[in-house]
Amino acid sequence: MNDRIRRSLLNPATIERLVPAKLNLLLKITGLRDNGYHEIVSVFVPVALYDTLRIGKREGGIVVRCSGRQVPRGSSNLAHRAATRFFEKTGIDEGAEIRLTKNIPVSSGLGGGSSDAAATLLGLNQLWGNPLKRGGLSAIALSLGADVPFFLLGRPAMARGIGEMLRPIEEFPSFWYVIVTPPIMVSTAWAYRKAKLELTKRKDLDKIIYSFRRTDTNIPDILSNDLESVTFGKYPFLRSIKTSLIELGALGSLMSGSGPSIFGLFNSEKMAQEAGKMLALDTKGDVFVVKGLS
């Protein structure tokens, strides 16, 4: 996972991680399984917008303390659920205290909860001497959510299936991103339920996959999200954010995940910063200017 890992010099039984958000540069629905899960093809890119996770050992029980933004508590919190599954899987009869500082907006399409869960699994596994191999961690991650396996990998990747089949994308181009997150929350489950299953044809899917095996692919040309029309249908004002990003010089713009976050791609930090300042003047919600991580 491409984040900073730091053991505390004051307490060797503590670990701290920077936990990145993600953007979907592509999200195509390709099928529906009997269990109700949607099969997808997606391109994930981690970005330098971080939660901070601090994990320490305790004699028993799991305690999650959060600050920064309102998040679910107790067993509804993904970090708590990840810790529970870790101890169940390993049989370790101890506990953990998890301190989470939330900077990534909740239910925003940026994957903050999934990233927190993956970082919790990796941190606990490191603290207890790596009792789980990659396969064991991945199995727990998938049981927690379709985006969680990506955050174990933590680099640009194409995901298939329900998110469990991951292929890193080599030499992914470096962009700056301006992310606008309006003050609304969108349920991922709702968005998928409302999506019309006009499934991506096999020949189009093959073309998409092939394009990411090339180093000269023009990324803005392939920006696409099958959930965008669903969320825009309920919140039409989101279209104006896309328009503003393009007018301010973005190479392309798209909604991430089920939204409501809208992002634009920029070749330079200067252009991204200038666009971010302009958007912050008349946009309700959060505006982030961040670099993609590779």
Helices and strands in the chain, H and E counts:
9, 12
Give 220's strand partners. Answer: none
- How many CB atoms sit inside 10 A of residue 292's CB? 20
pLDDT of residue 222: 84
The answer to whether the beta carbons of residues 121 and 137 sit under 8 Å apart is: yes
User: Coil, strand, or helix at residue 151?
Assistant: helix
Q: Where are the alpha helices (DSSP H) in 145-256?
A: 148-153, 188-194, 202-211, 228-234, 238-247
The mean pLDDT of the chain is 89
Token reading at 125: 């596994």
Nearest to 264 by CA among 233, 281, 284, 288: 288
Residue 22 appears among annotated catalytic residues: yes
* Selected catalytic residue, list 3, 51, 116, 147: 147
Task: Give the tens place of pLDDT for each residue, 128-156.
Answer: 999 999 999 999 999 999 999 999 999 99
Please, which pLDDT band fits residue 1 given cuts at 50, 70 and 90?
Answer: very low
pLDDT of residue 95: 95
Q: What are phi and psi of 185, to 5 degrees?
A: -120, 140
Task: Give the tens place of pLDDT for each residue, 234-279.
Answer: 999 999 999 999 999 999 999 999 999 999 999 999 999 999 999 9
Residue 5 has pLDDT above 80, yes or no: no
The residue with tokens 């302009």 is 278
Please, which pLDDT band fits residue 12 given cuts at 50, 70 and 90?
Answer: low
Residue 2 has pLDDT above 80, yes or no: no
pLDDT of residue 17: 94
* Selected catalytic residue, list 3, 22, 226, 242: 22
Q: Write the DSSP string, 223-234.
A: -EETTHHHHHHH
CA atoms of 273 and 199, how far apart (whole Å): 37
Task: Give the tens place of pLDDT for each residue, 31-47.
Answer: 888 887 888 989 999 99
pLDDT of residue 220: 81
Residue 88 has pLDDT above 90, yes or no: yes
Task: Give the tens place of pLDDT for each residue, 180-234.
Answer: 999 999 999 899 888 876 555 555 666 666 666 555 567 788 899 999 999 999 9
CA atoms of 177 and 175, how far apart (whole Å): 6
| CB-count burial class (<10 Å; 0-12, 13-18, 19+) for 183 | exposed
User: Coil, strand, or helix at residue 193?
Assistant: helix
Residue type, 275: A
The residue with tokens 């869960």 is 117
